Every structure is written in C-alpha cells, then in structure tokens.
A and B are shown apart, each in its own frame.
Chain A
Amino acid sequence: MANLTINGKSINVDVEDDTPLLWAIRENVGLTGTKYGCGIAQCGACTIHIDGIAMRSCGISVSEAVGKQITTIEGLATSDGALHKVQQAWIKNDVPQCGYCQTGMIMAVAALLKEKPKPTDKDIDETITNICRCGTFQQVREAIHAAANA
C-alpha cells in the first residue's frame, strides 16, 4: 500500500513498492492517458511530471513517488477544465496522427516551457527526445513555438 498524490488528490494504491509508477497509474488508479510504449524509459510515451519535472513513469517505482506531486495528462488542464496552452497549440496545429505518443509528448513540452518559456530549436532538440513513429515532429516543433508565443 502506498499513498500517492496524483493531480492534487491523495490516493491509496494497493501495490508492491517496486511496481513501476506507470502501471500503478494505469491499472490501479485508472488514469489511462499515460501510455505504455517501451517500459525502459526510451520512448517517453509514459511521461508525467513529478514535482513539476518531466519523468518517464515506467522507470520510477511507486515507493520513489511517495510524497511527491504527480501530474498526469489528465491533470494538465486547470481545475475549471481550461486546456493547457500546449494542448491548445496541439489542437490548433493539428499535431497528433495516431496520437498514442502525444500525451507523453505534451507532458514533456509543458515541462520544457515551464523551464524555458521561449525555447530555441536547439532547446527543443536537446530536451524533447520522445519517439513518435507516425513522425509528427515537424508539427510538434511548430506547435511548441506556437504555444511559447501564445
């Protein structure tokens, strides 16, 4: 049993301490916007925020996340439902294709913009390392700049 704080709510999760946070979020908490893609922190589909920093939840155990502020894609919008500016830019720029990697991509970008509100292309290249097999990178880059300027 572990007590996690997810999207501002305190939640008791009945799992072993070494369970990857990804699976606790998906299977025990039931928030499925965080995606499984590789399980070895390579692809970034499971990116969430831990204390505001983008992390790959497949590589973090539940015990490591206790006492931290966990934000998933479901918690990115404000409590009144207004979408985050990255989500808005994604919609306006028609970024997603299959969309499976995009929630992780959006979480990674939201964290980047928090740290660097006006990222350069070089910042983007160095920070955004998520895999997208559909190949949406051109629109991702455009939408990051659009969100930064929104």
Chain B
Amino acid sequence: MNKHITPALSRRAFVIGTAAAGAGLAVGLDIPFGGPTVVRAADGSPEVNVWVVIRPDDTVVIRIARSEMGQGTLTGLAQLVAEELECDWSKVTTEYPTPGQSVARKRAWGDFSTGGSRGIRTSQDYVRKGGATARMMLVQAAANEWKVPISECTAANSTITHTPSGKTTTYGKVVEAAARLSPPADADVKLKDPKDWKIAGKSVLRLDTADKTTGKMIYGIDVKLPGMLNAALKECPVFGGKLKSYDEAKVMGMKGVKKVVRVNDSTVAVVADTWWHAKTALDALPIVWDEGENAKVSSESIAKWLAEGLDNSQPAFIGNQNGDAKAAIAGAAKKLEAVYNYPYQNHAAMEPLNATALYTPDKCEVWTGTQNGEAAFAAVMETSGLPADKCEVHKLILGGGFGRRGMTDYVRQAVSIAKQMPGTPIKLLWSREDDMQHGTYHPVTQCKLTGAFDKDNNLTALHVRISGQSILFTVRPAALVNGMDTAAFQGLAPTGDWAIGYSFPNLLVEHSMRNPHVPPGFWRGVNVNQNAIYLECFIDELAHSVGQDPVEFRRKLMSKHPKHLAVLNAVAEKVGWDKPPPKGVYRGICQHMGYGSYVAGAAEISVTDSNKIKVHRIIASTDPGHVVNPAQIERQIAGSFVYGLSALFYGNCTVKDGRIEQSNFDTYNSMRIAEMPKVESVIVPSGGFWGGVGEPTICVAAPAVLNAYFAATGKRIRSVPLKDQDISFA
C-alpha cells in the first residue's frame, strides 16, 4: 500500500496550488542537474516521503489525507505516523495535501474519503509504514554522515544516537540528506507491536483545539479571497422539480446585488457583495417552479407504500438466511409479531454547507469543507469542464459532516455560479433552511419482525422483513449487487463488519426496496441506526414475552459470537445488571455491530407522568480492535449518544406536498446540555482487527433507552421520534 515519491513531473521547479486561504500546501520539486530528486513543501523544507516533511528546526509536518470534522482522525493519524517515526510529539504539526496534488502524484496519499468510520482503520497500515520508512531514511542519513553501520544507530524523540560513540544528531539536521536517499524496500519496513506504542494508544490532546477556542480556525464559511462575491440560492422545494422562471429585474436594483444566476435545472442564485445582501434579494426574487408529480407525495403516502412492502407476497432481497424461518413460524407453538418504523432525518451539521469557487478558462479552484476531497475534485472537473491539471480543491476543517459533506451538490453549485462569473471568486453559502430542506436524508424504512417459539419457549425462528429506501440505489448505484443494497443489512449480515450477534435455528432477513423521491444519504451510523432498534427492541420483546431476563435471553443466542457477547457482558457488568437499579430507575440493554466494531449499550432512566424521560446514566462499550486515542474514543461515544438520542427524541423530517416541512432548529430540534446523560465508556479492545469509532456506538443509544422505557412503563415504542408519541425529556 505504501506509495513512495513518484517524481514523474517535468524537470523544473514549480509550484502547484496557491492556497490563498486555508490549509492547502504548496509543493515544489527541486531536481538539481545530475543529482537525486527532492520534493519540497511550500517553505522549502524537504519531504522525507509523502507523509513526512521535516523543517530545519526539527518541526515535523505530517500529511493527513483524510478530513477532520470533529472525529479526531487528524490527531489519530498523526499519532500513528509519529509513533513509527519516533519523533518528538511536541514538534508535530499537520497539513492536508490537496486532491490535485494527489492526482498529479499518482494518488500518492491514497484514498481521501472520510466516511464509514474508515479514516483510521483503512489507512493505518500505510501511514504507519510511511512513518517507519521516513525514520529508517533519517537514521540511514545519520549513519552515512558518521560512516557507521545503521545497526549501531537508534532513533527516539527526533534524535538519532550512535550508541557506541554516544554521538547524536537531530532529524532537522539530517533531513536534507535523508530526503535524497532511496526508500527501503517494503519488506524491510517492520511496524511496531501496538503493545510497544508510546504516542499512539495514548490520550494525547488533539492538535486542532487552540484555534477552535479563539475564533481563528478558518472553516469554509470563513474563507475570504480578494474581490470575492457571495451567493445565496434557492432550489425547487419539491425534490425533482424544476426551475421554470424568475424575474431578476425585480431585484437587480437592490443594494449590493451583482447578478442573478441559473445554477442548474432546479436552482437559482443571487450574487451580491455580501451574503446578507444576496439572501435579502433572493427572498424578494419572484420565482416560478415546475414542481412536477412529486408534489403529490406525503409522509402518509410514503408510509402506505412502505407498509405494502412488509407483505411477504411482495418481492424482496434476501440479506441473511439459514434454515427455513417461514416454515418454522408457520408451525410454531407460539408467535410474536411487531412492526417498527424509522423516519427521514437531517444531518444538520452546525456549519451550513458552503463552497468558494474561482473559475477562469485556465483554472478552477474550490475552497471547501468536504468529507471526500477526491469526489469534490471530480465534481470540480465535471462542472468546470476543465482537465485534472487545471482543477484544485483546498480542503478546510469541517464544521461537522456526519455524512452530508461526503456529497458534492454544494461544490457543483458553487462552480456553476463561478463559471458564469469568470475571474471572480464566489462564496456560496446555504442558509439553515436550505440545509434542512435539501438534505440527503437518513432513509425511511419500516420493519416487520416475527419470532417463533416451541412449546418449551425456545426461540426457533426469526423473520426480519425491512421495507423501504436504499441509499446506494440513489447515491452509489454501481455498488448494488444484482439490484440488492447489501448496506440495508448493516448489523444483520451473516459475517464481516456488519455481522449479527445471534444464532437462530431458522433466520430470514430480507429487504423490500422502495425508493421514494426524497434523496437519501449516509447519516452517521447509516443503516445500523434503525436496524439496531428493530432487532434489539424486538429481541427484548421476545425475551419479555416468555418471561425471561433480556440479558440471559440474549446470552443463550450468542454462544457462537464471543466478541459481541464480550461487549454485552462488559456493559451488563458496569451497569450492575445482576443487582436491582435504584428505586424508580429502570434499565434497558442492547448490543450490535457496525463498521467492524462490536458495541453494546445500557441506559438507566426514570419516567414521570408516564411520558417524561430522564436519562440518568448511559453505559456504552466498544471493541474496536485497536485503540489509537482513548480520550477521543470516549468523546466519540458520548457524542454519538447526543446525536443518537437527538434522533430518537426529536428527529423527524416529514414530507408534505413533496417537500420537507421542517426548516430550522425550531422544528427540527437537537439535544441540549440539560438533556445530556452521563455517558460512561467501557473500551475493551481485543486486538487483531481494526474497527471504526465515529459511528458504531450511535446505534445502541436508541434501543437502550427504548428498552428501558418498556421496563419502566410496560409500553413498547416502535416508532421514532418520541416527540411524535408525546414523549419528551423530563
């Protein structure tokens, strides 16, 4: 996987990318006649390899290709490189390579996409090798200078020591020579055993905090370029509808307005000196939409269509199957059936979507927060019509992503506007209302679950029938397998990163795919959110229906799933499941798997007036295989409960006349600090694999609370959100 420097560029010094704002870096290539090649960072410091630049003052610049959106990946990846590099952590800083530079250097930094909790787990091997390779080259350079065998030299804390003589030097002093060496063969690069880690595996502080407390951090929304104008836009409120006409004469005289632009078939924008002027004029702009057939669609019509898919006579894709669940259910001594549903939900990242674009016939550059630099780059190429060597994307820190910023609609819109105003930088900013009503929503599904028991109350079969929307059908159709969306079965799959944690004598899990016109997208946790509610609340129902303890009932089904069982047991132990809770407090528990990590959760709640929930305590356990930064994992767990419980209590984007009804945080609420339970994390890495962290635990938030609510009230809630069941935080 490790890609070494590939200086396939022309024999002259040059600079790619001028980062007028933000975190882009410029790269120069210095090829002296007759000598070896050295690639240089913007300030002239040499690259040891693509991951590591060292300045003469010993500052270590670690390149991070994945995006930082709060999840801590930037710090975690730097820890992994620094660990192998044996550098002084206090001298580490980071920078983003740009997608354009990566393309020019044959994808030297690999995949940029930052979603699916992949940031660390799918790049840890090659970034660690990058750090190790750089260390070996630095030590070799010192050994060469001292004319001693490399085997007599060691490196620690950015210092190289020749052990027999006691001579020392620093990385900054040998980096010029190291950068001229050929990298060692891949086979000679040995990575440390994680048990020997000194920087990785530790709760070091994040590298990106200080500027976030002073207002100095530049997000996409803060980008300023000379001569820049600002754009506000309106998209047809009905998904799939078109822009028919608009009367720009009505607003061209308004203060600051420069131009009204048709962005695409469904969108119009006003460009002005300030965004506030653009927005004010946009609100005054007469627009005629062709809303089309979708204007007849409502939440009710969607729910009716999905309910039809729960009928076994309708076609469905099979995602997991053993035995003959239908026959076992038909012949069962006792059956239990329940129908659950899950609504559309918006990401609502705190920073509204934005992108700044500068187009000239020779170059198109974009400054934006994106979860996928390469997808944004491709969007710039496609929309500008310019080739790769004339496009660039400068990535900025994201004010939240949660999956929404993996999409490129806002990048395309910015480029489309800029293309109509060549030479003028255009900052496009969505309003919160645009963000709420033009999301790529957590998909809508329903689920019918049927369980069968024999006469001795042994569970003999489970049938899970999901009906509803596929994300991949719309977002990534090439990923469908003979039409089937395998991601629909996250947490319910037979094996792998999404494996179900139970063995049933007979099992059938199927998906009747129905795709309404509302655009779906990946939303923190994606399909484990609803699948964990469906499975884990229904397992709870099954346990109670035969008078069994929910933990004991699960354990009997989990003997072949030791890692799932271990996190369940960890949570049960921490919450004190074998002892009664305090008076008036009730418990719920659950477990699931997602993104290669095993997770379990327990909630302690009290309920007043039968509908006001106080969440006293949350226990969450995860086995992500390896742990790079325990403090950051704790924060991801606690944060995922805020996101997950916000979704459970408040999250519903309803459809009326083909459009989303909710428009801002007053109608699409989010948890506040007063509602935040105490979250206790139990991190139990078992080694041997790399699981994700940012998303997996979110899926146990809702079922833990819903199961506790049943314990408290005897009422089973099968529909999200709770506000629509007249249930609120106490």
Using CB atoms, name the residue of chain A closest to B670.
Answer: A131
Please tell me if the beta carbons of B215 and A33 are within 8 angstroms of each other in the complex: yes
Q: Which A residues are CB-close (under 8 A) to B111? A: none
Contact between chains at A131 and B665 (CB < 8 Å): yes
Asked whether A38 is an interface residue with its Cβ less than 8 Å from the other chain, the reply is: yes
Given the complex, which residues of A lie within 8 Å of B672, measured CB to CB?
128-131, 137
Closest to B219 in A: A100
Task: Evaluate contact between B638 and A138: CB separation under 8 angstroms.
Answer: yes
How far does the Cβ of B434 sit from chain A's closest Cβ, in whole Å? 11
Evaluate contact between A23 and B635: CB separation under 8 angstroms.
no
Nearest B residue (CB) for A104: B350
**Size category, A interface:** 35 or more
B643 adjacent to chain A (CB < 8 Å) = yes
Say whether B327 faces chain A, with CB atoms less than 8 Å apart: no
Q: Is B248 an interface residue (CB 8 A)?
A: no
Residues of B within 8 A of A130 (CB): 672-673
Residue ID in chain B nearest A106 by CB atoms: B213
Does A16 touch B at the CB level, under 8 Å?
yes
Q: Given A40-B665, A97-B71, A133–B643 Cβ distance below 8 Å?
A: yes
Most chain-A Cβ atoms within 10 A of its Cβ — which of B397, B664, B679? B664
Q: Is B205 an interface residue, CB under 8 A from the partner? A: yes
CA distance A99 to B70 in the complex (A): 7
B639 touches A125 (CB 8 A): no
**A103 to B670, alpha carbons, bound, how many Å?**
18
Give Cα distance in the complex from A25 to B72, angstroms.
Answer: 30
Residue B432 contacts which of A19, A38, A100, A135 (CB distance < 8 angstroms)? Answer: A38
A19–B256 CA distance with the chains assembled, in angstroms: 13
B674 engages A98 (CB within 8 Å): no
Interface residues of A in 120-140 (CB under 8 A from B): 124-126, 128-140
Is A91 a contact of B274 with CB atoms below 8 Å?
Answer: no
Chain B residues closer than 8 Å to A83, beta-carbon distance:
213-214
Q: How far is the CB of B77 from chain A (nearest CB, A)?
A: 16
A42 touches B665 (CB 8 A): yes
Which residues of B (193-224) have their CB < 8 Å from a CB of A? Answer: 205-206, 208-219, 221-222, 224
- A77–B211 alpha-carbon span in the complex (Å): 13
Within the complex, the shortest CB–CB distance from B96 to chain A, in Å, comes to 15
Distance between Cα atoms of A28 and B224 in the complex (Å) = 12
Task: Answer whether A128 and B673 are a contact pair too, CB < 8 Å, given A19-B276, A30-B224, A98-B70.
Answer: yes
A73 contacts partner chain B, Cβ-Cβ < 8 Å: yes
Interface status of A51 (Cβ within 8 A of chain B): no
Q: Which one, A20, A42, A77, contacts B276 given CB within 8 A? A: A20
Choice from B401, B638, B666 contacting A135 with Cβ under 8 Å: B638
Question: Is the C-beta of A50 less than 8 angstroms from some C-beta in chain B?
Answer: no
**B209 is contacted by which of A28, A91, A132 (Cβ under 8 Å)?**
A91
A125–B222 contact, CB under 8 A?
no
CB contact under 8 A between A32 and B222, given known A74-B214, A98-B399: yes
Which residues of chain B come closer than 8 Å to A136, judged between CB atoms? 635, 638-639
Please, which residue of chain A has its CB at the minimum distance from the CB of B643?
A: A135
A98 close to B678 (CB less than 8 A): no
Q: How many positions in chain B have a CB within 8 Å of any CB in the partner chain?
A: 60
Report if A6 contacts B (CB, 8 A).
Answer: no
- Picked from A77, A87, A128, A133, the residue with its CB within 8 Å of the CB of B350 is A133
A133 to B222, CA, bound (A): 19
Instruction: Contacts A37-B432, A39-B432 given; indicate if A16 touches B212 (C-beta within 8 A).
Output: no
B642 interface residue (CB < 8 Å to A): yes
CB pair A102 B643 closer than 8 Å: no
Q: Is A57 an interface residue (CB 8 A)?
A: no
- How far, in whole Å, are A98 and B213 apart by their CA atoms in the complex? 11
Q: Are A138 and B678 in contact (CB under 8 A)?
A: yes
Quick one: closest B residue to A20, CB to CB? B276
Across the interface, do B399 and A99 meet the contact criterion of CB distance under 8 Å? yes
Chain A's nearest CB lies how many Å from the CB of B79? 14
CA distance A20 to B277 in the complex (A): 11
Determine the distance from Cα of A77 to Cα of B214 in the docked complex, in whole angstroms.
8
Chain A hits for B400, CB < 8 A: 98, 100, 133-134
A33 and B216 contacting across the interface, CB-CB below 8 Å = yes
Q: Is the CB of B665 within 8 A of A35?
A: no
Q: Does B530 contact A (CB under 8 A)?
A: no
User: By the criterion CB–CB under 8 Å, are A102 and B212 in contact?
Assistant: yes
| Least distance between A44 CB and chain B CB atoms (Å) | 9
Contacting residues, chain A, for B429 (C-beta < 8 A): 36
B673 CB → nearest A CB, Å: 4
A45 at the interface (CB under 8 A from B): yes
B221 engages A35 (CB within 8 Å): yes
Complex alpha-carbon distance, A130 and B671, angstroms:
9
A129 to B208, CA, bound (A): 25
Q: Which residues of B contact A77 (CB under 8 A)?
A: 214
- Within 82-120 of B, Cβ neighbours of A (below 8 Å) are at none
Q: Kindly list chain A residues whose C-beta atoms are within 8 Å of the C-beta of B16.
A: none
Assess whether B639 is in contact with A97, with CB atoms less than 8 Å apart.
Answer: yes
B349 interfacial by beta-carbon distance below 8 Å:
yes
The answer, yes or no, to whether B640 is at the interface (CB within 8 Å) is yes
Judge whether A135 and B665 touch: CB under 8 Å. Answer: no
CB nearest to A98 among chain B residues: B70
Judged by a CB distance under 8 angstroms, whether B287 is at the interface is no
For window 629-659 of B, CB contacts with A under 8 Å fall at 631, 635, 638-643, 646
Interface string of A88-116 (1 = CB under 8 A from B): 00110011111111110010000000000
Q: Is the CB–CB distance between B69 and A98 below 8 Å?
A: yes
Q: Which residues of chain A are near B275, meaning CB under 8 Å?
A: 23, 27
Measured between beta carbons, the chain B residues less than 8 angstroms from A95 are 209, 213
How distant is the Cα of A135 from the Cα of B70 in the complex, in angstroms?
A: 10
Q: Return chain A residues, CB-CB under 8 Å to B214.
A: 33, 73-74, 76-77, 83, 87, 103
Interface presence of B571 (CB below 8 A): no
B431 within 8 A of A: yes
Nearest-neighbor residue (CB-CB) of A73 within chain B: B215
What sequence of 0s and 1s flags, for each residue 674-700 of chain B, a beta carbon within 8 Å of any chain A beta carbon?
101011000000000000000000000
Q: Which residues of A contact B230 (CB under 8 A)?
A: 27
Given known pairs A97-B635, A138-B679, the reply for A103 and B643 (CB within 8 Å) is no
Inter-chain pairs besides A40-B666, A74-B215, A102-B213, 16 sampled, C-beta below 8 Å: A35-B399, A37-B351, A38-B432, A38-B664, A38-B665, A72-B215, A83-B214, A94-B205, A94-B631, A97-B639, A98-B401, A100-B219, A100-B350, A134-B70, A135-B639, A135-B641
Question: Could you give 20 example pairs across A and B, Cβ below 8 Å?
Answer: A32-B224, A33-B214, A35-B350, A37-B352, A40-B664, A43-B665, A73-B215, A74-B214, A95-B209, A98-B70, A99-B208, A99-B399, A103-B213, A130-B672, A131-B350, A131-B665, A131-B670, A132-B350, A132-B642, A137-B638
What are the nearest 8 A-B pairs in CB distance?
A: A33-B215, A135-B642, A99-B212, A100-B399, A98-B70, A97-B70, A135-B639, A125-B674
The chain B residues found within 8 Å of chain A, CB to CB, are 69-72, 205-206, 208-219, 221-222, 224, 230, 255, 274-276, 348-352, 397-402, 429, 431-432, 631, 635, 638-643, 646, 664-666, 670-674, 676, 678-679
Which residues of A come within 8 Å of B, CB atoms? 15-16, 19-20, 23, 27-28, 30-40, 42-43, 45, 72-74, 76-77, 83, 87, 90-91, 94-103, 106, 124-126, 128-141
